[in-house]
Amino acid sequence: DAKTTQPTSMDCAEGRAANLPCNHSTISGNEYVYWYRQIHSQGPQYIIHGLKNNETNEMASLIITEDRKSSTLILPHATLRDTAVYYCIVSLPGGGSNYKLTFGKGTLLTVNP
Amino acid sequence: DTGVSQNPRHKITKRGQNVTFRCDPISEHNRLYWYRQTLGQGPEFLTYFQNEAQLEKSRLLSDRFSAERPKGSFSTLEIQRTEQGDSAMYLCASSVAGGRDEQYFGPGTRLTVT
């Protein structure tokens, strides 16, 4: 799997947008970008994934640059419950022969009141 | 609650003892994964089942570790002759092959080896 680089930590004010960057300069053409988060003492939770187009769901938006070497996860209105470690993962889709997720250390997002 | 359950949630054992953890995936999910997470690190892949077949084992899974998924339903992870280095959170996840590719994680079993 391609490696990703994320900042160790970030802060965000409650109610503001949280923009979490991820670099994945060695991503291959058929690899997707996945985002998971892990709230303290819980298992990781899927957020969103995409290949090259921007994606949006009820939790977040994913912006992938045109060259696919980096992406940004956007939480539009962060709440205190969004405080968690956010993992950016590059992987082949699970429907293919690859299936395991390779987690890095992620970004600890702290949402402040 | 993702629908994936793990038991026990916490286990304290003495070095050299055997321990077994159980994972109950979401019922219609045919893929099941085990990960291990140590303090300050992201989860690390251990092994993977599709239905009852164990299709891959990480090199992290030494001979003291064994995982089963009889009948393609729940799974067990056994650690024999535990060592202090086995202390970690053991996470189970499940997914649907060919689905939206997201893995649903359980709350984990925290193992402490004294």
Could you read off the pLDDT of B57-94 as tens digits, one per residue? 888 888 999 999 998 899 999 999 999 999 999 999 99
Tokens standing for B67? Answer: 């995982």
The pLDDT of residue A2 is: 56
CB–CB contact A95 B98 (8 Å): yes
Exposed, middle or buried by CB within 10 Å (0-12, 13-18, 19+), for B35?
buried
Q: What is the mean pLDDT of chain A?
A: 91
CB–CB contact B101 A101 (8 Å): no
Rounded Cα–Cα distance for residues A62 and A71 (Å) = 7
Rounded mean pLDDT of B40-50?
A: 92
CB–CB contact A106 B33 (8 Å): no
Query: How many CB pairs below 8 A link A and B?
Result: 63
Written as one string, the DSSP assignment of chain A is ----B--SEEEEETTS-EEEEEE-TT--TT-EEEEEEE-TTS--EEEEEESSS-EE-SS-EEEE-TTSSEEEEEETT--GGG-EEEEEEEE--TTSS---------EEEEEE-
Give the contacts of A77 (CB within 8 A, at least 6 positions apart): A15, A16, A17
Residue predicted with more confidence, B27 or A110: A110
Rounded mean pLDDT of A62-78?
A: 96
Rounded mean pLDDT of A42-64?
A: 94
Q: Does the pLDDT at position A51 exceed 80?
A: yes
Q: Does the pLDDT at position A73 exceed 70?
A: yes
Q: Does the pLDDT at position B43 exceed 90?
A: yes
Rounded mean pLDDT of A30-55?
A: 92
Q: Which residue of A has its CA nearest to B31?
A: A99
Could you tell me how far CA A52 lies from the centroid of its own chain? 14
Q: How close B105 comes to chain A (CA, Å)?
A: 5
